Amino acid sequence: MSEQTVFPEDLPDSALVMRAEEAGGTDVFQAADVSLPSPGEGQILVKTAAAGVNFIETYQRSGVYPVDYPFTPGTEGAGTVISLGEGVEGFTVGERVATTEAATGTYSTHFVVDAAKAVHVPDEVTDEQAAALPLQGVTAHYLINSTYRVSAGETVLTHAGAGGVGQILTQLLKAKGARVITTTSTEEKAKIAQAAGADYVLGYDNFAEQVLEITKGEGVSVVYDGVGKDTYQGSLESLAVRGMLVAFGGASGQVPPIDPQELNRRGGLFVTRPAVHWYLRNAQERAWRFSELFSALTAGELELNIGGTYPLTEVARAHEDLEGRRTTGKLLLVP
């Protein structure tokens, strides 16, 4: 068993967590005092400043994705290092860090993360920004730099342009010189997508026809689709010959099986289903993505829209707002 190299005398004995006692609706969340997690070898203990709320956690709470209950959700958060596990190098107590790969749930006053999966937060970045950026920021970064590397002059289609990923995607795509078409569900959300820099903002009805009209029948090079079941067919119809559908989420439900012959008939299309962990394979890749994101943020090239900040104990309300699609931008929990 590893020993902590730093253990301040004023370190608390317990942490407050918001955990799902069983699978179900938001009423399964209960506050609980648990023993303060102890960082193991190569890990750090962080006092949470803010934690990100993400759609996958609604699936975990409800039982769509099986987990062991009681379950404390959250892998994304930012805060201050308060204790180091054995062998940790490159971090000191009192430093601010952020992660999207926490080892213990971030719906808590404290969480543990492998030091190799945490990054230093620049002084110019606030705690709220540091907590809001990791998952959506890294997702947007890998989508346009690795899954399909977008070049200046290309036309792309994204969905949910007013969402957390959607707004970051648009800004990063525009910085690359791409032409961005996006979709939203309301006029209010359309204004948010336009403010992020989208060239065209469409409704979901008949969006494929409008995309083909905008592109003079050619279609787009790539579609970044985090909506899933309700949009994937139109996404395929929007693609140019040898275009790529990047199905990175399923907010409306998962994409059903696709017949490879349909891809052939539509022009030799490509379909991929990426996930963030496949694009944070090592320290070098992690450092590259976060460095570029923090640089864009501090240079004013990227703005984060924090759509709601909730007290930790009001996590049920945050989940209800997220599932009800009543939010735009990123939701945070603050202890």
Asked if pLDDT for residue 24 goes beyond 70, the answer is yes
Average pLDDT value for residue range 172-186: 97
What pLDDT does 9 receive? 56
Opening angle at CA 75, ends 141 and 317, nearest 5: 105
pLDDT in tens, 277-316: 999 999 899 999 999 999 999 999 899 999 899 999 999 9
Note the pTM of the prediction, 2 decimals: 0.90
Sequence-separated (6 or more) residues with CB below 8 Å from residue 258: 232, 236, 271
Confidence of residue 327 (pLDDT cuts 50, 70, 90): confident
Asked if pLDDT for residue 176 goes beyond 90, the answer is yes
What pLDDT does 8 receive? 56
pLDDT in tens, 40-83: 999 999 999 999 999 899 999 999 899 999 999 999 999 999 99
Query: Which domains are delineated in the chain?
Result: 14-133+304-334 (3.90.180.10), 136-277 (3.40.50.720)
Asked if pLDDT for residue 106 goes beyond 60, the answer is yes
Asked if pLDDT for residue 1 goes beyond 70, the answer is no
Asked if pLDDT for residue 169 goes beyond 90, the answer is yes
Average pLDDT value for residue range 208-220: 98
Confidence of residue 164 (pLDDT cuts 50, 70, 90): confident
pLDDT in tens, 250-260: 888 889 999 99
Average pLDDT value for residue range 122-131: 97
Asked if pLDDT for residue 4 goes beyond 70, the answer is no
What pLDDT does 118 receive? 97
What pLDDT does 253 receive? 87
Q: What is the mean pLDDT of the chain?
A: 94
Residue 74: burial class (beta carbons within 10 Å; 0-12, 13-18, 19+): buried
Confidence of residue 6 (pLDDT cuts 50, 70, 90): very low
What pLDDT does 84 receive? 96
